[in-house]
Amino acid sequence: MSTEIQNQSTDRGDSNLPVNPINSFLLNESLQACLSNNEASESLITHLTIEPTIDPDLGNEPGELIENIHTPPRMIPPPPFLNPTNPSSWTPTLPGTTESSHLSLPQDFLMFEEGDQSDKDQNETQDGKSPRVRLTMAQKSKEFGNVEGTQRGSIPYIIPRSKSLRGRIADLTTSTNRYNRELPLIISRAERLSNETDAYILVLAQQAKGSSAAVHFVSPRLRREAPDDTIALVNQFQTLMTNLSLAKRAEALELTKQLQTAQAALTNAQEQTKVAEDTRKNAELLLKQKDIELGASQAMAQRLLEELSSMQSNR
């Protein structure tokens, strides 16, 4: 029986494969045991007929049966026919065939830093399927408008907006959170720009309804070449912000006083209206009473006239 198996291996082109003696001995012993049972011999032979273990990682070490092989952990999982945990999915292939099997990489190879999108093309969408059309400067100016309040010397400096201008945030907490989140990004970019281009840059910022001091950034060259003038500019800006804050508070206080005066006048007018209404109601009631009394007097006078007329007629 072992001679037939060797002939079958030779017919299939396996003569060049190295056969391990231990595997051959165990295989022959298993086949001899199967011959004692004629009913299950064909099924057991089919189940136990296996190829020699071919693994480049094992080198010249003694081979083992598939059921007892211990595969060390790898970054790429072995093919299905070398996986001892799933023997039912083992599909033997003939040596020399060009059939390729698809190997799925583990999840560790597919992981990447998703939070950092700084190198992502601004025209590429999140799904990467439908990139946006790149707008020219003229199209951006027509679509989103231009930045207001910019000049180059005494000449207006036209800068098209990259996005549409959103409305003012009414909620103070939300507005403060956005201010504290976006201003450091602007200052960080200003620092990179001043460092890369050796430019004079001065950034001054103060939230209109904020209670903290103004934030400023001075580029290294400006600090180095004009420290006193820079300090004077920053102090002047801080003084201006303080005056505006005090003016807003004074204006708010004046408006509060005017509102209180108007509310007091309204309350007084309402009270006077109520008094006048009560007076009118009392006058109407008095007028009705006078009308009733006048009617009674007229009726009594009419009766007296009638009695007087009857007395004169009786004479």
Asked whether 52 and 20 are in contact (CB, 8 A), the reply is yes
Verify that 158 and 176 share a domain, yes or no.
no
Q: Establish if 245 belongs to a structural domain.
A: no
pLDDT tens-digit series, residues 11-20: 444 444 444 5
| Rounded Cα gap, residues 83 and 67, in angstroms | 9
Verify that 38 and 68 share a domain, yes or no.
yes
Asked whether 117 and 128 are in contact (CB, 8 A), the reply is no
Q: What is the pTM of this model?
A: 0.43
Q: What pLDDT does residue 32 have?
A: 64
Measuring CA to CA, how many Å separate 104 from each of 58, 72, 80, 85? Answer: 23, 18, 11, 17
Name the more confident of 138 and 2. 138
> Where does a domain end: 33, 54, 89?
89
Find where tokens 């040596």 sit: 95
Verify that 147 and 173 share a domain, yes or no.
no
Q: Among 107, 18, 123, 122, which residue's Cα sits nearest to residue 60?
A: 18
Average pLDDT, the chain: 71
Cα end-to-end distance, the chain, whole Å: 174
Residue 49 Rama label (left phi>0; alpha psi -120 to 50; beta): beta
> Where does a domain end: 225, 242, 271?
225
User: Which tokens belong to 51?
Assistant: 């190829």
Find where tokens 């992981």 sit: 111
User: Which tokens belong to 241?
Assistant: 């912000």
pLDDT tens-digit series, residues 225-261: 999 999 999 999 999 998 888 888 888 888 888 999 9
CATH code, 184 = 3.40.1810
Q: What pLDDT does residue 311 have?
A: 83
Q: What pLDDT does residue 29 have?
A: 65
- CB-based contacts of 176, cutoff 8 Å, min separation 6: 207, 209, 210
SS3 state of residue 160 = strand
Q: Establish if 244 belongs to a structural domain.
A: no
Burial of 74 (C-beta count, 10 Å sphere; 0-12/13-18/19+)? exposed
Verify that 160 and 186 share a domain, yes or no.
no
The 10 Å Cβ neighbour count of residue 194 is 20
For residue 192, the enclosing domain spans 167-225
The 10 Å Cβ neighbour count of residue 241 is 18
What mean pLDDT do residues 66-87 have? 46
Q: Establish if 306 belongs to a structural domain.
A: no
Name the more confident of 27 and 288. 288
* Dihedral of the alpha carbons of 228, 233, 235, 236, in degrees to the nearest 10: 140
> Where does a domain end: 164, 184, 203?
164
Q: What pLDDT does residue 101 have?
A: 40
Write the single-letter amino acid at 19: V
Number of domains observed in the structure of the chain: 3
| Rounded Cα gap, residues 141 and 26, in angstroms | 82
| Rounded Cα gap, residues 1 and 12, in angstroms | 17
Its sign, for the CA torsion 158, 163, 169, 174, is negative
Across 102-106, 204-208, 250-254, the highest mean pLDDT is recorded for 204-208
Asked whether 84 and 69 are in contact (CB, 8 A), the reply is yes
Burial of 236 (C-beta count, 10 Å sphere; 0-12/13-18/19+)? exposed
Verify that 23 and 65 share a domain, yes or no.
yes
Q: Establish if 200 belongs to a structural domain.
A: yes
pLDDT bin (cut points 50, 70, 90) of residue 1 is very low
Verify that 157 and 217 share a domain, yes or no.
no
User: Which tokens belong to 96?
Assistant: 């020399």
Verify that 174 and 140 share a domain, yes or no.
no
Please report which helix (H) or strand (E) contains residue 45, including its range: helix 41-48
Q: Establish if 214 belongs to a structural domain.
A: yes
Q: Establish if 179 belongs to a structural domain.
A: yes
Q: Establish if 263 belongs to a structural domain.
A: no
Q: Indicate the range of 98-102, 149-153, 244-248 predicted with least confidence.
A: 98-102
Q: Establish if 114 belongs to a structural domain.
A: no
Q: What pLDDT does residue 249 have?
A: 80
pLDDT tens-digit series, residues 267-276: 999 999 999 9
